[in-house]
Amino acid sequence: MTSSIVPGRPDVRELSSIALDVWLLRLSDGSRVVAKHQFFGLLTRGKNFDLLQVEFEVNRALRQAGCHVPVPFGIDPEGQFIFMEYLGDRTFLDVCFGQMPLGCVSRVIAELLLIEETLATQPNWQNRVVLGGHHEDLTDRWRAVEEVALEGLGKTLRIWDAMSCFDRLATSLRTLHGLLAARPATLGTTDYQPRNVMCPAGQRIAFLELGKLGWDWTERRALQYTSPLDCARVSLTSKQSILGELGAAMPSSESRCALDMHHLFFRLILAARDPISADLELLQFPLSDEPTMMTIRRHLREASGRGTHPTFGDLIDG
């Protein structure tokens, strides 16, 4: 199959697995090609959100428009494979585990913004949105976030022995939740995690997995693309410097405020699962000077100082 897809029709010399359902093919002309099996692709075959077809077309269009995504070589609809350019073996998550090159986060954000702008200016992509990626799905999911965040807040305050602060923090949280809901969403990727950003050493940053288009907020994508969740392997100091660079990379003060708010919800959602590993200390890091966020930070700092646990303000300042 590859021989008919890759220019020059070279043979496959070696095949190795690089991720679940993803293989690296070494060809006889020395080049390397990635083959990804789209496991759920058949279920979408022939639809306007056909996973294989959309990934191929989006990557081709974005690449032609100057965005950095893998060059798509072709698809095999029978076998449900997409063949594309190999972009190295270093994801943003790998970068987080080592010494983060200066400016890496701002380059990730610049590429993300370019992809979103390009998708917004080209016609037709709005009709290719994946199931679950429509505006109303975003509204539904975001509505559910409010309860989960409040649960995270409750669990956290209980540990801090500061439940008396719950009501005032919950009121602010509800206000912010409404403000974020009212912000316009952008068309882009729906799987925004550090493993989907490739950071080949010395080369331009690239984005993977554009087959599932959907509506979401730029700031939420920006935050989650650059937030390593393998907490133990990345120090709090590194996470804080990533956040600092992220805030500086956002295109406007309005966008920084939204990022700050999304960060609050992000940490509280993690806290709903486990407040101890949610890195709540990072909420003391001011991503904006938005007044409600400043007040929340102060209340959280006060609440964290009430119990017998270490105050989290100290962790950040120290």
Residues that bind ligand ATP (CB under 6 A): 18-19, 21-22, 34, 36, 38, 70, 84-88, 91, 195-196, 198, 208-209, 211
Q: Single out the residue of 91, 90, 73 nearest to residue 82, CA to CA.
A: 73
Q: Single out the residue of 81, 91, 115, 88 nearest to residue 6, CA to CA.
A: 81
Q: Which does 271 bind (CB under 5 to 8 A by kind): ligand ATP, Mg ion, none?
A: none
Name the minimum Å distance from CB 36 to ligand ATP: 6
**Sheet strand arrangement including 72-76:** 12-19, 22-27, 32-37, 81-85, 72-76
Q: Which does 299 bind (CB under 5 to 8 A by kind): ligand ATP, Mg ion, none?
A: none
> Per the structure block, which two tokens stand in for 235?
């120090």
Q: Which residue's Cβ has the minimum distance to ligand ATP?
A: 19
Name the minimum Å distance from CB 261 to ligand ATP: 28
Name the minimum Å distance from CB 208 to Mg ion: 6
**SS3 (DSSP) at 171:** helix
Residue nearer to ligand ATP on the CB measure, 38 or 118 = 38
Residue nearer to Mg ion on the CB measure, 217 or 225 = 225
Determine which helix (DSSP H) or strand (DSSP E) holds 74, and give its type and residue range: strand 72-76
Q: Which does 95 bind (CB under 5 to 8 A by kind): Mg ion, ligand ATP, none?
A: none
Name the minimum Å distance from CB 84 to ligand ATP: 5
What is the rounded CA–CA span in Å between residue 298 and residue 261? 15
Residue nearer to ligand ATP on the CB measure, 149 or 197 = 197
Residue nearer to Mg ion on the CB measure, 115 or 250 = 115
Name the minimum Å distance from CB 210 to Mg ion: 11
Residue nearer to Mg ion on the CB measure, 222 or 287 = 222
Name the minimum Å distance from CB 6 to ligand ATP: 14
The total number of residues written for the chain in this structure? 318
How many Cα atoms sit within 13 Å of 4 on the Cβ side? 3
Residue nearer to ligand ATP on the CB measure, 86 or 166 = 86
Name the minimum Å distance from CB 249 to Mg ion: 22
> Per the structure block, which two tokens stand in for 193?
């995690």
What one-letter code names the amino acid at 167?
A: D
Residue nearer to ligand ATP on the CB measure, 85 or 151 = 85
Q: Which does 34 bind (CB under 5 to 8 A by kind): Mg ion, ligand ATP, none?
A: ligand ATP
What is the rounded CA–CA span in Å between residue 59 and residue 45? 18
Contacts with Mg ion by CB under 5 A lie at 196, 209
Q: Which does 98 bind (CB under 5 to 8 A by kind): ligand ATP, Mg ion, none?
A: none
Pairing mode, if any, of strands 197-198 and 81-85? unpaired
Q: Sign of the CA dihedral 268, 269, 270, 272?
A: positive
Q: What is the CA radius of gyration of the chain?
A: 21
Q: Which does 116 bind (CB under 5 to 8 A by kind): ligand ATP, Mg ion, none?
A: none
Nearby residues of 208 by Cβ (< 8 Å), 6 or more positions away: 69, 70, 87, 196, 197, 198
Q: Which does 91 bind (CB under 5 to 8 A by kind): ligand ATP, Mg ion, none?
A: ligand ATP
